[in-house]
Amino acid sequence: MNRHLVRFLYPKPQTIFITLMFSSVVLYALYYFHNTDLTLWLIAAAFLLWSLVTGGIMTYWLIRSRKMQEEIELIELLQKKSMSLSLSFILNMSFFLYYMIVSMIYKSPWFATIAFFYISLSMGRMILLTEARFKHPNLRSQWRSYMTCGYLMLAMMIALIMMAFMVVEDHYSMSYPGHTIWAAGIFALYLSWSALQGYFTTRKWRSPMLSAERVVAMSAALLGIYSFQTAYLTRSGQADPVIRFWNITTGVVISLLMLAISVYMIVHGGRMLANRIEFEKKTGH
């Protein structure tokens, strides 16, 4: 008896589908042949109602279980991201301290600007690292961090514009001894590959934290590319007009890209944060 009750309450999907189709056909046949037997009508209608209710409940739980599974996977992904964010934060802070000390020793605005870029980048990593350590992600807090990363990206864009200005007007550039320039190129390539990989592996998740993490990774890659370009063109022996053209072009393209993304993050993040606050006030959550 218990086994039959379980089958009745938790039928297989094919059983529900067959019952739905069969009861629909029976009801149509009763209507078509003008059958007035009330018992047949009630039995067919009962089976149709059972299949609809059971199928609706099963569909609801399938959708809910899928959503719960996605939430679990997202939390696990955020926890994994905390390790890479920790390493990136330590690396960025190391670069900041190095360039800050060098700028104070040589009183160089070039190194001070690079240090400013890396401290902004480090602050972005630190904010995201704080969010990634939460076991239960808070959307309100994540949207606020997302918007803050937009402001930090705006600061990094200003630093990059200052670097581009010094490269073009004062002929500043990164300098690497010997073959270490190729190590810098490989590092810039790694940053670019890491940013692209992060984009394609996390783009399906609608998480503000992951979106901000992709933008921060892209900012680091853009600085690496621009620094390598200035060093390579200076060493390549190209004519000054050629070097000037490429440095201006790359600087303008990167700056416009960062400006567009930072403005979008600030505006979109602010709007979503306001919507979230309004939603929490209405629902009390």
What 17-26 contacts at long range (C-beta under 8 Å, 24+ apart), as own/partner pairs, is: 17/51, 17/55, 19/47, 19/48, 19/50, 19/51, 20/48, 20/51, 20/52, 20/55, 22/47, 23/47, 23/48, 23/51, 24/48
Average pLDDT on 20-26 reads 83
**115 close to 103: Cβ distance less than 8 angstroms:** yes
Give the residue-averaged pLDDT of 83-98: 88
Res 53: pLDDT: 84
User: What is the share, in percent, of the chain residues with pLDDT greater than 70?
Assistant: 82
Q: How confident is the model at residue 1 (pLDDT cuts 50, 70, 90)?
A: very low
Average pLDDT over residues 77-90: 77
- Global confidence as pTM: 0.70
Whether pLDDT at 2 is above 60:
no
What digits encode the pLDDT tens for the residues 206-243? 778 888 888 889 988 998 898 888 888 877 777 778 88
In the predicted model, what is the mean pLDDT of residues 24-28?
Answer: 83
pLDDT value at position 72? 53
Residues 6+ apart with CB under 8 A from 243: 233, 234
Predicted confidence (pLDDT) at residue 95 exceeds the cutoff of 70: yes
pLDDT above 60: residue 6? no
Residue 3 has what pLDDT?
A: 60
Minimum mean pLDDT range among 4-8, 41-45, 127-131, 271-275:
4-8
Please check the confidence at residue 134 and state whether its pLDDT lies above 50.
Answer: yes
pLDDT one-digit tens code per residue, 160-216: 888 888 887 776 666 666 667 787 888 889 889 988 888 888 777 777 888 888 888
